[in-house]
Amino acid sequence: MKIRAVRGTRDILPDEIPAWQTLERAAHGLLGRYGYREIRTPVFEETELFARGIGAETDIVTKEMYTFDDRDGSSLTLRPEATAGIVRAVIEHNLMNTDPALKVYALGPMFRRERPQKGRYRQFHQLDVEAFGLTSPTIDAEMIEVAVAYLEACGVRQHQLVLNSVGDQHCRPAYVETLRTALREHAPSMCGDCQRRAETNPLRVLDCKVPDDQKMIEGLPKITGHLCADCRDHFAEVCRQLKLLGIPYRLSHRLVRGLDYYVRTTFEILSGELGAQNSVLGGGRYDGLVRDLGGPEVAGTGFAVGLERLALLMPAGESEGRCDVFLAPLTSEALDPALVLQRDLRQAGVRAMLDPEGRSFKSRMKQADKLGARFVAILGDDEAARGVWTIRDMERSEQEDVPEGRILEHLKEKTNG
């Protein structure tokens, strides 16, 4: 029986890697300029962390987690998102003590047992960006600025920012009750999921995608009209700063996001080019989370980018040659000098390769071509007798003799090694 990759997982093959390296480099470069430092946390954690951190009633926790018993009976879970683990690490290592405005980011795989389809996998990757200890609306706006700048740095031009405020502990509970009451009237006609959510987590009804429910949802009371003065001011300032920074956005009172921990600002960036899975990144403010997970009372804001979806949106790069100099020792005596030259070139920073299988001259030239080699260095009987290498310039279709003693310097100069 053939063993295949597990359903919902995928290999990122060498041809796709340039895009991934570009998006990783862009993350390190851009986030460094905004004062973020990288953090790496484990891919599995105690199940309790996610149950508490994400919310027991969320889809992720009720349906999508990869949870298993360890051999000692403790319950572990493959992380479905990065924030909970990062918050755990921030608390465990008292990072807030040394850095009252802590800015960190992480790159890595996440695991959710969802129905696999284009842009939706069971193992997928995220870039996760988090700032702790900052309550000002300025950080919400900056977070959004970073998110947009990151997509632009990856070459993504078509995107749409959607923004909302979901209130806080002062105004949201009353709104949720209003919503629950309003939903009771509609209960019989709603989809099954919404009937359940109407009782357990009414806010989640707002991002139901079932077509028949849309009209009812549009008629529900909107959070926008129920924000307290502080939340209203905070949101107005976020919007003002986005305008100042020239970042266009669309308001949507239905953007509540899937995780329970959000307060005030929530945002998402969508792309029409992604089809049904159109959200490339999402985030917001989560001021109570650190406290809820046993840490100090510090604010948090952040977002997560889905890297598979981002890679789909990135423009195809020029495929780059993999080799500067292809060495062609044509006789068995030529092998040793070729091996030494190959090592010396590589040490000098030149990408050098040779064909250790000793195939025909023609097939070696074909190989050099396929690897995108700019030069081929040939050493046959004729060259050996004259103490030279033949250097063929593949771009210009020219060749010249270069004395043995000068060959390394010559190739280094030609390739800027």
Q: Indicate whether 128 belongs to the interface with ligand ATP (CB under 6 A).
A: no
CB 116, CB 122: distance < 8 Å = yes
- Cβ nearer to ligand ATP, comparing 281 with 345: 281
Q: Indicate whether 19 belongs to the interface with ligand ATP (CB under 6 A).
A: no
Helix and strand totals (H; E) in the chain: 16, 16
Q: Indicate whether 121 belongs to the interface with ligand ATP (CB under 6 A).
A: yes
Burial of 102 (0-12, 13-18, 19+ CB in 10 A): buried
Single residue of 81, 130, 168, 383 touching ligand ATP by CB under 6 A = 81
Burial of 297 (0-12, 13-18, 19+ CB in 10 A): exposed
Give me the helix-helix angle, 229-244 and 137-153, nearest 10°: 40
Q: Indicate whether 282 belongs to the interface with ligand ATP (CB under 6 A).
A: yes
Single residue of 258, 337, 358, 372 touching ligand ATP by CB under 6 A = 258
CB 10, CB 121: distance < 8 Å = yes
CB 114, CB 120: distance < 8 Å = yes
Helices (H), 64-136: 83-92, 95-98
The dihedral built from the CA positions of residue 374, 380, 382 and 386, taken in this order, carries a sign that is: positive
CB of 81: closest distance to ligand ATP in angstroms? 5
Is 15 in a helix, a strand, or coil?
A: coil
Token pair, residue 198, equals 């109407």
- Cβ nearer to ligand ATP, comparing 103 with 204: 204
CB of 280: closest distance to ligand ATP in angstroms? 5
- Cβ nearer to ligand ATP, comparing 313 with 323: 313
CB of 190: closest distance to ligand ATP in angstroms? 20
Single residue of 309, 351, 374, 392 touching ligand ATP by CB under 6 A = 309
Of 91-99, 116-124, 291-299, 370-378, which part binds ligand ATP (CB under 6 A)? Answer: 116-124
Give me the helix-helix angle, 407-415 and 335-347, nearest 10°: 40
How many residues interact with ligand ATP (rule CB under 6 A)? 18
- Cβ nearer to ligand ATP, comparing 124 with 235: 124
Q: Indicate whether 50 belongs to the interface with ligand ATP (CB under 6 A).
A: no
Q: Indicate whether 23 belongs to the interface with ligand ATP (CB under 6 A).
A: no
- Cβ nearer to ligand ATP, comparing 84 with 299: 84
- Cβ nearer to ligand ATP, comparing 140 with 383: 140
- Cβ nearer to ligand ATP, comparing 50 with 389: 50
Q: Which helix (H) or strand (E) holds 325?
A: strand 325-329
Single residue of 41, 83, 126, 201 touching ligand ATP by CB under 6 A = 126
**Angle in degrees, CA 156, 135, 140, rounded to 5:** 15
CB 167, CB 231: distance < 8 Å = yes
* Contacts to ligand ATP from residues 190-229, by CB under 6 A: none
Q: Indicate whether 306 belongs to the interface with ligand ATP (CB under 6 A).
A: yes
Of 97-105, 242-250, 280-288, 401-409, which part binds ligand ATP (CB under 6 A)? Answer: 280-288
Q: Are strands 250-251 and 102-111 parallel, antiparallel or unpaired?
A: unpaired
Is 181 in a helix, a strand, or coil?
A: helix
Single residue of 45, 308, 324, 383 touching ligand ATP by CB under 6 A = 308
The span from the CA of 172 to the CA of 20, in Å, is 40
Token pair, residue 329, equals 């020792």
The span from the CA of 169 to the CA of 172, in Å, is 6
Of 150-158, 187-195, 304-312, 327-335, which part binds ligand ATP (CB under 6 A)? Answer: 304-312
Give residues in contact with ligand ATP (CB under 6 A). 81, 112, 114, 119-121, 124, 126, 258, 277, 279-282, 304, 306, 308-309
